[in-house]
Amino acid sequence: AQSVTQLGSHVSVSEGALVLLRCNYSSSVPPYLFWYVQYPNQGLQLLLKYTTGATLVKGINGFEAEFKKSETSFHLTKPSAHMSDAAEYFCAVSDRDTPLVFGKGTRLSVIA
């Protein structure tokens, strides 16, 4: 069975600082990996995804993530945090035939 662990239920950064949200996965087959963002009172929006190919994936709003098979990780980064980045972030894993399995989420706060 697949699973996702997001380290840190709450991360707080200063505006302009590096954002790093950690995600480790478990999968017995080559995984597909996703990061979704959820703003208050809204549904989830896809930030980026990795299926095959280049391991460094660029997404919307300046976010990127790197698939590291040896570390079973897919951490999300952004060089400079903006106030509008404050939201809940979810890492998810699937494979060719299975639905998404989500982590418990990390709430990102950005301090002015």
Partner 1 sequence: DSGVTQTPKHLITATGQRVTLRCSPRSGDLSVYWYQQSLDQGLQFLIQYYNGEERAKGNILERFSAQQFPDLHSELNLSSLELGDSALYFCASSALRGGGNEQFFGPGTRLTVL
Site size toward partner 1, by CB under 8 A: 23
Surface-to-core class of residue 30, CB atoms within 10 Å of its CB (0-12 exposed, 13-18 middle, 19+ buried): exposed
> Between 32 and 63, whose beta carbon lies closer to partner 1?
32
Asked if 14 interacts with partner 1 (CB under 8 A), we say no
Q: Is 101 in the site for partner 1 (CB under 8 A)?
A: yes
- Interface mask toward partner 1 for 38-77; x: CB under 8 A: ---xxxxxx--x-x--------------------------
The Cα-based distances of 89 to 29, 45, 62 in angstroms read 24, 10, 14
Residue 86, CA distances (Å) to 31, 64, 77, 108 in order: 28, 16, 14, 5
Which residue ranges make up the site for partner 1 (CB under 8 A)? 32, 36, 41-46, 49, 51, 90, 94-105
